């Protein structure tokens, strides 16, 4: 089974040289730490920055320089600032190559729910609806099952939707799956996890063809 770092490391392998990438809050933020050295990747922060760098050194925080999670950050060489309309303009126009975000539920036709739990305080969708509606490629980092052991990979989402038919790939603590017209296609197993365990943890349509390899993570 993968921990959060393991999920982040596995997703990092999907990033290609020359990509512009938007990372959501939570596990997706960790992905930045595992982008292979020497690869040219530019991180977009939807509050108005291309070329996001790591957290500042202590004492060098700048209140004008934050990411979409409102954390203090830095820029890297070659970065650019812009306003919020342009930021979502480049997202809507599909200039951003890859969006990585978390989810509470995903359906087997690629719907995603990640912003609202009825009966709980609703904080808002932020930029998530814009991102999922427009992204060329969306990878979701999520837990396969909830704390009660119930599947979060469903035939249909129970929670209010963030976007429809948009998720392309899912990395969970148990597996890597693609979303296809036939449903979730199992690509890889997490270390020590059997196909049977993944089957039991998946309520949506699951396609299993041939031998499913165990994923390789450094």
Binding site for another protein (CB under 8 A): 45-49, 54-67, 69-73, 81-85, 87-89, 91-92, 94, 111, 121-130, 133-134, 160-165
Nearest approach in angstroms of CB 11 to another protein is 21
> Please, what is the minimum distance in Å from the beta carbon of residue 55 to another protein?
5
Catalytic (active site) residue 209: no
Minimum distance of another protein from residue 175's CB (angstroms): 26
Q: Is 95 in contact with 20 (CB distance < 8 Å)?
A: yes
For residue 169, which of 156, 188, 150, 155 has the smallest C-alpha distance?
188
The candidate with the shortest Cα–Cα distance to 215, out of 13, 4, 5, is: 13
Catalytic annotation, pick one of 46, 105, 173, 188: 46
Q: Are the CB atoms for 28 and 98 separated by under 8 Å?
A: no
Residue 34 or 88: which CB sits closer to another protein?
A: 88
- Computed over its alpha carbons, how large is the radius of gyration of the chain? 17
β-pair type (138-141, 112-113): unpaired
Q: Which is nearer to another protein, 20 or 81 (CB)?
A: 81
Decide whether 41 or 73 has the Cβ nearer to another protein.
73
Q: Which structure tokens are listed for 82?
A: 């812009």
Give the span between the Cα atoms of 26 and 31, in whole angstroms: 10
CB of 107 to another protein, least distance (A): 11
Q: Of 1 and 133, which CB lies nearer to another protein in the complex structure?
A: 133
Annotated catalytic residues are 46
């Amino acid at each position: 089974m993968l921990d959060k770092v393991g999920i982040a490391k596995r997703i990092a392998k999907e990033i290609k040289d020359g990509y512009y990438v938007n990372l959501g809050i939570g596990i997706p933020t960790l992905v930045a730490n595992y982008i292979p050295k020497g690869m040219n990747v530019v991180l977009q922060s939807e509050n108005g920055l291309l070329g996001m760098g790591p957290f500042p050194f202590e004492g060098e925080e700048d209140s004008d320089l934050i990411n979409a999670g409102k954390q203090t950050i830095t820029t890297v060489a070659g970065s650019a600032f812009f306003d919020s309309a342009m930021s979502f303009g480049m997202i809507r126009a599909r200039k951003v190559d890859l969006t990585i975000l978390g989810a509470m539920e995903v359906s087997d036709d690629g719907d995603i729910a990640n912003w609202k739990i009825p009966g709980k305080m609703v904080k808002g969708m932020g930029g998530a609806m814009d991102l999922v509606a427009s992204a060329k490629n969306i990878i979701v980092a999520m837990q396969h099952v909830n704390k009660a052991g119930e599947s979060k990979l469903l035939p249909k989402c129970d929670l209010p939707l963030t976007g429809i038919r948009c998720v392309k790939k899912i990395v969970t603590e148990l597996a890597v799956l693609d979303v296809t017209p036939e449903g979730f296609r199992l690509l890889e197993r997490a270390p020590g996890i059997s196909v049977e365990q993944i089957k039991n943890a998946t309520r949506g349509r699951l396609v299993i063809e041939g031998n499913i390899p165990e994923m390789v993570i450094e």
